[in-house]
Amino acid sequence: MQVAGVRRRNLLAIRDEVAESSGAAAGNKLMRVVSALFAWVVDREWIEVNPVSRIKALAEGHLRPWSAAEYDRVLPQLPADLRRVFVLARHTGQRRSDLVAMRWSQYDGQAIRLTRQKTGKALVIPATPQLQAELAEWPRSEAAQILITARGQPCSAQRLTTRIRKTVAAIGPAFAGLNAHGLRKLAATTLAEAGCSEHEIAAITGHGTLAMVRLYTRSAR
C-alpha cells in the first residue's frame, strides 16, 4: 500500500492477526514498531497524522501451558511433520526460532548443542532416551535442519505458529488457544516435576532468570 493510503483499520487487522497467532504481547510490540515508523513519516511530511496514535494496547496475559494429558491426546492426531515439532519442543524446551534452526550436526547421539537465536547463549541439552529413539527414526533430507516439512524443506517459525494454532483448534475446542510456546512451558514443568532445580531447568531451557523459570513452572506438581 501507499503510505498515505494506510488506515487504522488496516493496521488493526494486521495487529489482531499477529495477536491471534502469537499472543497479545506480539501484537502490541508490532504496533510500537509501526508507530515509530509512521512517526518518522509524519516528521518528513509524507503524511500529516500517525495512524497508530491513540491505539490502545491489547491486554497481555501469559500464554497457557500445555498439560501432559493434552499433549498425549493431541500428539497421535498430528501429521508426521507437525508431530516431530511437538516432540522436539517437549524434550528440549526451546522457542520456535531455535527449534527450526536446529541442525543434525548439532546432535551427537547424546545431546543437542546449540546457540540460542535470541540471546546468543550456548546450551547443551541432554537428549532423553525417548528423544533419542525418535531422532533415530526421523527422516533426513538435503536440508540440514532437523525439522522439515512434508516436502522435505526447512520449517518456518511463523508458519509453524499459524499451523499449530489451526491444527489443534480443529482437533477440539478444548485445545483452542494452545500454541507452540505452551510446549516450552510444558518442557519446563516436566523438568520441575522430575526433580530438577531451577538452575538445572534454566541450563536446558535457556531462561535468563530464575524468576522466569518459576513463572514457567507454576503449574508443576
Q: What is the pLDDT of residues 56-76, one digit of tens each?
A: 888 776 678 899 999 999 999
pLDDT of residue 127: 96
60 or 43, which is more confident? 43
On whether the CB atoms of residues 107 and 127 are closer than 8 A, the answer is: yes
Asked whether residue 15 carries a pLDDT value surpassing 80, the answer given is: yes
What's the average model confidence in pLDDT over 77-89? 96
Torsion region of 146: left, alpha or beta (phi above 0 gives left; psi -120 to 50 gives alpha): alpha
- Give the H or E element holding residue 122: strand 122-126
Q: 1-61: what fold?
A: DNA polymerase; domain 1 (1.10.150)
What's the average model confidence in pLDDT over 151-166? 86
Q: Which CATH class is domain 68-181?
A: mainly alpha
Three cell numbers, residue 216: 514457567
Query: pLDDT tens digits for 86-132?
Result: 999 999 999 989 999 999 999 999 999 999 988 889 999 999 999 99
First to last CA, the chain: 51
Percent of the chain at pLDDT > 90 equals 60
What's the average model confidence in pLDDT over 149-162? 86
Asked whether residue 177 carries a pLDDT value surpassing 90, the answer given is: no
Three cell numbers, residue 164: 499449530
Question: What is the distance between the alpha carbons of residues 154 and 157, in angstroms, rounded to a whole number?
Answer: 10
In the chain, list all ranges with CATH 1.10.443.10: 68-181
How would residue 200 be classed by pLDDT, with cut points 50, 70 and 90? very high
In the chain, list all ranges with CATH 1.10.150.130: 1-61
Question: What is the distance between the alpha carbons of residues 73 and 77, in angstroms, rounded to a whole number?
Answer: 8
Burial class (CB in 10 A: 0-12, 13-18, 19+), 44: exposed
Asked whether residue 23 carries a pLDDT value surpassing 80, the answer given is: no
